[in-house]
């Protein structure tokens, strides 16, 4: 279990470092992931709407 905590902190520190070094690129990445998630959720919604129609 200790390795999970260490890995979690490594990921958090890396993310903070990435935002500090290149905030524009980090914002672009977050925007892209948000758009991808939005598309995925809309696809699932359309699927269930199709089932109910």
- Do residues 18 and 26 make contact, with C-beta atoms less than 8 angstroms apart? yes
SS3 for 22?
A: coil
List, as one string, the DSSP characters of 2-20: HHHHHHHHHHHHHHHHHHH
Q: Is the dihedral of CA 32, 35, 39, 44 positive or negative?
A: positive
List the structure tokens of 45: 């919604």
Contact between residue 19 and residue 26 where contact means Cβ atoms under 8 Å apart: yes
pTM over cut 0.85? no
pLDDT at 49 over 90: yes
**What are the domain boundaries of the chain?**
23-53
- Given a cut of 90, is residue 17 above it in pLDDT? yes
pLDDT digits (tens, 9 = 90+) for 21-37: 999 999 999 999 999 99
């Amino acid at each position: 279990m200790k390795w999970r905590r260490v890995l979690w902190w490594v990921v958090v520190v890396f993310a903070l470092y990435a935002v500090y070094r290149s905030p524009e690129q980090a914002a672009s990445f977050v925007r892209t992931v948000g758009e991808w998630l939005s598309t995925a959720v809309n696809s699932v919604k359309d699927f269930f709407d199709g089932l109910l129609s």
